[in-house]
Structure 1
């Protein structure tokens, strides 16, 4: 075949164009593959606060937290009222206020018109009216894994696995693990059952970390032991067991294959903070508490207020030492996760609220008073990974977490979300050049008008929340 000079030039141009198109398409595929390889792990520590974390790191008692803080972006995480974990962790998972996501309390009243009775039941994921981060990412073909996140029962289909917040109740009744809708996929339960604990199994864990163990005689040694304190103290081993099982399940699944997104919530940093302050030296508390009651905190006398706040700060430092078992447990879990996570992983550690002295004990509800904040105590945020700029994060709130995760995956944010991405935490120039992509909404979650049947898992969880004073 004969091709003249001009035709030869045209052919060469066509070949060059084809090659450029192939290179470009390959580059785009490589680009997409690169970002699909980026992974995020969210470790939720319910109630964790810098008030306890900082003093313990300063004393070098939390080596894994201390290690990541050297190269982390960190700050306070503003939260909102009511400081109910079911509400707050759903806001974190959706990027939306409770009015939008539908989870507004721990319980709801179900009505049986036929039987003409009303029954108080626990709120479930069936009541949620906004898509979660794992549902959003799953629909975009990212693999996901979720363990013990609040309000994840019943476990719904995801592109990966989901271990709901009710499976932990099997520590009391192992038969609960045979109930439906606790995990997805359903057959996963067979892998998880070997990690179930019995109450007696928790004692060595308690001793390892130095948690106070309950006895009726020991209770009387502590400051002003109320009925609430006695009840919580008698069950503290169960809460430790819950988190140990949560840790075991998480590490088992991560070691099998780390999904693109993984999220877990641990509770002991919250539970232990509700009662642990009474483990401080009894004589010290008898001398100090009368001076830091509400009337002293709200006093019009500046000298009285100054003394009260000075004593509260001193009490905070002592309380941090008492909280060491809970934070050391979290530190060890963090270390295990860090050893598993691949180099493309961004680890985000968050809490839904902090703790503060409120005149009669430590809690996370705001208190209105002179020179005292009328806002819930703030939680923590720590971001760590090769794409994160070390430094202080300013003005972060619980609604920013889901948008930030979407931004890390180079996916659009939704205009109906109440938060924004924490873009300044990312160091990679490619991250910083990303546009502020937006879509209208990612839709709703698996909302249903059908009530979830009351079962043994619900009964045990209801007792759990009653012991914390969350449900009456």
Structure 2
């Protein structure tokens, strides 16, 4: 069995955009990959600049070790600045390591990877896809773009020029493209350019997958990042400040970009076999909600303000667990994990660790001092100046770098300063504040730029030199027109550390009244309020902050602490659970969750929470005391430390204690929520219409209006699409009926009882209906999707339907159509407390809407 690995990079891919598309069934390839393996967040590094991040991914090392410190670097040969490339990296990448082991290795489009370096395989550099001339003119492939050189002609022929694209390519992104005046408005051309570049990368990757014998294939797409930088401002919801006509023209571009990437992923999955491990990752996320910026500050790398802390991680293959979440993953962990997949040793000089929890059987780890001692890399090649100039132009157009000074010496100096600053940020973000201070003091002395000063203040705060920290902040305040919120919050913290509480409170007052601009500033303000014992104010401030940063685990933890201090243990426990859902590696949240459960005498759950807290922080004496308290009461539980906190009937404990624990859990539930569920297009809307006609209260917002696919309406709530992060939504549906499609059931809060009507329908009919709705050809039937849906239902039967707080009535769609009276009675009996009118329920069934039938 050949051990093959396909690594796919989607720059800037973000779960916040992906999840609603998955729930709508619009990314089936990614959905299949997720269900076949493990998935979760992938934490980024600081600074959030893609060339630095993708090099960390490829090496398992931070930028101070790998040497790529920005988008450009000083050119010591010709003077001025040049784009970073393979020559910038001073350590071995994963492809060097695997080539050294005689594994056939292909790399396409990685940033930075120009000039292509010799491999035991093929490398196509990140200069490959850039169109430099008009269509019809010569489009030479830049020297050094392809290794081996004899493949250059073949690879050049696979490229797609933006001007080759037709309306069929553009309209899925901009349906009203005809309204764009392309002489004045270049946005359509920008979308076409990004789309063509994605096609170039995909064509070369699939060609190599099909025509070469490979063990490792790495493919990098920068296009989601570019689409988002250009069009996320038009993404729903409509931002204030965006013209209505612009919003209407371009609001579908970002979603279309993700769907297009899913199509490319589907093609790649079809080209792999069951012995291939597939890993899909992104280097960071991208703001798509309330925190989007319409304008950026005038500074180098300003577009990175749009980036979010977490990217995506998905992995599936013969050695990988199935349908599980992964926690605590970091960009630095990718290369160590890839080496573990090949049973190769890890370098002791790597900053990352292998993600052992994703493996079915944990690999035996081996180590060497450094792969740099084993890998021989060819001497750095000179770069074609024209190609370098084109790459530099692209970086300027995207706004990542400023246009260099005409004078080479000024450009050289400016680039050196910028890269020194980036190095200081690497040190500061990795707990090496003293090394950061050495650089930042020099930079701030020569130029009192707010960027240098603010990082210097943070560094002083890190080493507890609060006097210097405050001094720097006050110097910056004199120069700035308005106080910088982040620095003002740090100043408050420093004043509190110096026991100057009155001054701290005075400095805190304006911050409380402001909208928090970063989650970190909000955390500092909230903690300061709690130090000052202003618990109510802290709670109110955190409530507002969570409106802007709903997926921030620390803010939820702090909100939980305000309830904990008020002895509201039930509400505190809910918030600690929400914090854990966003970030599982969260020892304090697990600890205080355990304490809340202990106070509520939910001993099994307390035991589980304390056990996980200790596994994450073995020095936690408080968690150990909590376990001791439980055991002193005579309770013993066998619990897997890696589990999320959940109720289970599998623990080997005394039956009487178990029944008592179950009873206490049922008594603790906060009410009943009525749910209609099933696969998308399985008849869930029809059942919602029956229940509404019968007199049930429906929880819906009607944002999705009726259409030809569902002329009687969907009766949905938009918030269900983000149920994984919007935990408070279910509480609003108490005593009402809410539609939750099957993939979202796992996100239901454990705090309620659920009576679920689950719609069963022939899966062939479901897929046919989905194809018709998405305007796919009728013969476009996916066996893999069929199998995926079967597995999804099987997993619900095994893992969800038998939970203590869940009752399920299975209803067959065809039976409702053919025997409406019988099925309406069955539903009414199941929900007898709703007092449903059976006659009106029957009248809501429209047999004419049964349009996708499978007779056999």
What range describes the TM-score normalised by the shorter chain of this pair?
0.7 to 0.9
In the aligned structure 2, how far is the partner of 1:460 from the partner of 1:250? 23
Equivalent position to 1:272, from 227, 230, 239 = 227
Deviation of the 1:365 alpha carbon = 3.8
Deviation of the 1:402 alpha carbon = 0.5
Q: 1:123 to 1:448 in 2, by over 3 A?
A: farther
Q: Aligned pair 1:379/2:311, yes or no?
A: yes
Equivalent position to 1:422, from 355, 359, 380 = 355
Deviation of the 1:233 alpha carbon = 5.6
Match of 1:165 in 2: 126
Equivalent position to 1:351, from 277, 282, 306 = 282
Match of 1:47 in 2: 12
Q: Aligned pair 1:244/2:174, yes or no?
A: no
In the aligned structure 1, how far is the partner of 2:350 from the partner of 2:179? 48
Native 8 Å contact 1:52 1:320 kept in 2? no
Match of 1:323 in 2: 254
Match of 1:108 in 2: 73
| 1:38-117 superposed matches below 5 A | 38-111=3-76
Deviation of the 1:333 alpha carbon = 0.9
Structure 1 portions without partners, runs of 5+: 1-33, 221-229, 290-318, 368-374
Match of 2:468 in 1: none
Residue 140 of structure 2: SS of its match in structure 1? helix
In the aligned structure 2, how far is the partner of 1:45 from the partner of 1:448? 30
| 1:190-229 superposed matches below 5 A | 190-204=153-167, 206-207=169-170, 209-211=172-174, 217=181
**Cα deviation digits, residues 389-429 of structure 1 (max 9, x gap):** 120110000000001100000000111011111121111x4
Residue 169 of structure 1: SS of its match in structure 2? coil
Deviation of the 1:205 alpha carbon = 5.9
Match of 1:224 in 2: none
Q: 1:451 to 1:183 in 2, by over 3 A?
A: closer
Match of 1:458 in 2: 388
Deviation of the 1:118 alpha carbon = 3.3
Equivalent position to 2:143, from 180, 184, 187 = 180
**Cα deviation digits, residues 97-126 of structure 1 (max 9, x gap):** 0000000111122245xxxx7322111111
| 1:20-31 superposed matches below 5 A | none
TM-score with structure 2 setting the length: 0.42
Q: 1:60 to 1:359 in 2, by over 3 A?
A: closer
In the aligned structure 2, how far is the partner of 1:420 from the partner of 1:376? 22
Q: Aligned pair 1:286/2:240, yes or no?
A: yes
Q: Aligned pair 1:413/2:346, yes or no?
A: yes
Match of 2:114 in 1: 153
**Cα deviation digits, residues 138-182 of structure 1 (max 9, x gap):** 000100000000011111110000000001124646745343211
Q: Find runs of 4+ consecutive structure 1 residues off by over 6 angstroms.
A: none
In the aligned structure 2, how far is the partner of 1:167 from the partner of 1:424? 37
Q: 1:361 to 1:139 in 2, by over 3 A?
A: same
Match of 1:298 in 2: none
Match of 1:28 in 2: none
In the aligned structure 1, how far is the partner of 2:53 from the partner of 2:207? 27
Equivalent position to 2:336, from 403, 410, 420 = 403
Native 8 Å contact 2:54 2:111 kept in 1? yes
Deviation of the 1:67 alpha carbon = 1.6
Residue 462 of structure 1: SS of its match in structure 2? helix
In the aligned structure 2, how far is the partner of 1:422 from the partner of 1:208? 41
Equivalent position to 1:441, from 357, 370, 374 = 370
In the aligned structure 2, how far is the partner of 1:67 from the partner of 1:170? 34
Deviation of the 1:95 alpha carbon = 0.6
Q: Aligned pair 1:135/2:68, yes or no?
A: no
TM-score with structure 1 setting the length: 0.74
Q: 1:88 to 1:320 in 2, by over 3 A?
A: farther
Deviation of the 1:464 alpha carbon = 1.5
Native 8 Å contact 1:130 1:445 kept in 2? no
Report the count of equivalent residues: 382
Residue 70 of structure 1: SS of its match in structure 2? helix
Higher relative contact order (CA 8 A, sep 6+): 1
In the aligned structure 2, how far is the partner of 1:193 from the partner of 1:328? 26
Q: What RMSD over aligned residues (CA atoms) do the two structures have, in Å?
A: 2.9
In the aligned structure 1, how far is the partner of 2:236 from the partner of 2:381? 51
Deviation of the 1:454 alpha carbon = 1.0
Q: 1:459 to 1:365 in 2, by over 3 A?
A: closer
Compare 81-90 and 91-100 and name the one that shifted more: 81-90
Native 8 Å contact 2:348 2:367 kept in 1? yes
Q: 1:164 to 1:89 in 2, by over 3 A?
A: same
In the aligned structure 2, how far is the partner of 1:205 from the partner of 1:267? 22
Compare 63-72 and 129-138 and name the one that shifted more: 63-72
Native 8 Å contact 1:147 1:164 kept in 2? yes
In the aligned structure 1, how far is the partner of 2:334 from the partner of 2:8? 12
In the aligned structure 1, how far is the partner of 2:253 from the partner of 2:201? 23
Residue 209 of structure 1: SS of its match in structure 2? coil
Deviation of the 1:324 alpha carbon = 1.6
**Cα deviation digits, residues 286-340 of structure 1 (max 9, x gap):** 3899xxxxxxxxxxxxxxxxxxxxxxxxxxxxx9965221111111111111111
Native 8 Å contact 1:209 1:329 kept in 2? no
Q: 1:165 to 1:43 in 2, by over 3 A?
A: same
Native 8 Å contact 1:232 1:468 kept in 2? no
Deviation of the 1:218 alpha carbon = 7.8
In the aligned structure 1, how far is the partner of 2:187 from the partner of 2:18? 23
Native 8 Å contact 1:154 1:182 kept in 2? yes
Deviation of the 1:206 alpha carbon = 3.4
Equivalent position to 1:468, from 398, 401, 414 = 398
Equivalent position to 2:321, from 389, 396, 401 = 389
In the aligned structure 1, how far is the partner of 2:178 from the partner of 2:258? 20
In the aligned structure 1, how far is the partner of 2:24 from the partner of 2:73? 45
In the aligned structure 1, how far is the partner of 2:183 from the partner of 2:337? 45
